[in-house]
Amino acid sequence: MGACYNEDQPRFSYAASMEDPRSSKLVHDNVHGNIYLDQLSLKFIDTEQFQRLRDLKQLGVTHLVYPGAVHSRFEHSLGVYWLACEAIHRIKNCQGLELDIKPFDIQTVKLAGLLHDVGHGPFSHLFERDFLPRVVNGSKWSHEEMSLKMIDHIVDVHNIDIKPDILKTVKEMIIASPENAPSKSSKEKRFLYDIVANGRNGIDVDKFDYILRDSRACGLGCNFQFQRLLENMRVIDDEICYRAKERLTIHHLFTSRADLHRQVYMHAKVKAIELMLVDALTKANDHLQIASSIHDPAAYWKLDDTIIKTIEINPDPALKESRDLILRIRRRDLYQFCNEFAVPKNQLEHFKNVTPQDIICSQKTGVTLKEEDVAVCNVKIDLTRGRNNPVEWYVGRVG
């Protein structure tokens, strides 16, 4: 989590980071309040490819269990844009001269926040995690890589006047892995690459937004206060760091994320609906060629959550099985949850993923379940550092 600094270091005051209203457009977000969008960002937002995000629910089918979870990738993207803007401006206000933060740096960070999900597939992560591996052999497709292609596509189609070095840097910032950031020897500002998608320790404004937004939408409490981290972030040795007293706030970031996985993302009914939807999409794929557009941004941007309605109202006999599954979802005739087993920590290293075949082999005499009757979800929920407490080494580095 990088170095930390102590209370005996000087305190700082903060200047407001609001965009100049004369050169921006105001929208009101139900999480962050007023968001000011600059002119270059609006050129991307006011395209059919970006507006598509309005038709992608942030949490996929979760709204069928938590009725309030109807927020979209569009809202989330604006939220991450604003938090990225807040973060880089706060750093600039405190350390701008020291770090030589230029308008180029501010613009690239904001655009990375805005465009990081522009290549996302339908139904949250279900599309790339569950559906594509079934219909595309050896699929390693990712929405991050598609976001990079989609950005180039938007620029080309809409003739957006953007400097090549800005475009290149924005795309590098979207991929959350240390190897994509400049090396220390290149004397680049590597900390900038950790604001939107932090591959070094997972503390980034993308999480700040979706943890709070998802918690509110699902009616859950959230004790993570991202404002404290925004107010206290500093750059030390080219890494974003926080006051030692904020270790509990950082711990809340990861525990809140884990709680969302337990209570929302992996909810038994949510998983049942997801499994049914994946089956419906898989059965419809040969007829509708749903997966055929995943490498072509010009076709891919037309794919969104409305594919479920396309299947539902299409009378073609080839889609009957898919329509029947969607009808079952509508009528709450869901796949039945059977049981779950939590693997003890001390057995994780020796535990293999359970398969439907394992379940069938262990059924009692007289039970006639077949492998196709069983679906198994092997889920790992941790605090992003495996079995380790993500703040243990953070505490150890407090001087």
- Measured between its terminal Cα atoms, the distance across the chain in Å is 14
AA identity, residue 51: Q
Tell me, yes or no, whether 76 lies in a domain. Answer: yes
Q: How many CB atoms lie within 10 A of CB 395?
A: 13
Residue 211 lies inside a defined structural domain of this protein: yes
8 CB contacts (<8 Å, ≥6 apart)? Answer: none
Q: What is the pLDDT of residues 308-358, one digit of tens each?
A: 999 999 999 999 999 999 999 999 999 998 888 888 877 777 787 888 888
Stated pTM of the model? 0.88
What's the domain count of the chain? 1
Tokens describing residue 365:
């005499």
Show which residues are catalytic.
143
Could you read off the pLDDT of 38-93 as tens digits, one per residue?
999 999 999 999 999 999 999 999 999 999 999 999 999 999 999 999 999 999 99
Question: Which token pair is 219?
Answer: 């009616």
Predicted confidence (pLDDT) per residue in 89-103, tens digit: 999 999 999 999 999
Let me know if residue 358 belongs to a domain: no
The CATH code of the domain that includes 214 is 1.10.3210.10
Distance of alpha carbon 325 from alpha carbon 320, whole angstroms: 9
Beta bridge partners of residue 35, listed in sequence order: 27
Range of the structural domain that residue 131 is part of:
4-267
Low-confidence spans in the chain with pLDDT less than 50 = 1-3, 5-18, 184-185, 187, 393-399
What are φ and ψ of residue 242, in 5° steps? -135, 160
Cα separation, 85 vs 19, in Å, equals: 9
Who contacts 48 (Cβ-Cβ below 8 Å, separation ≥6)?
A: 301
Domain assignment present for 347: no
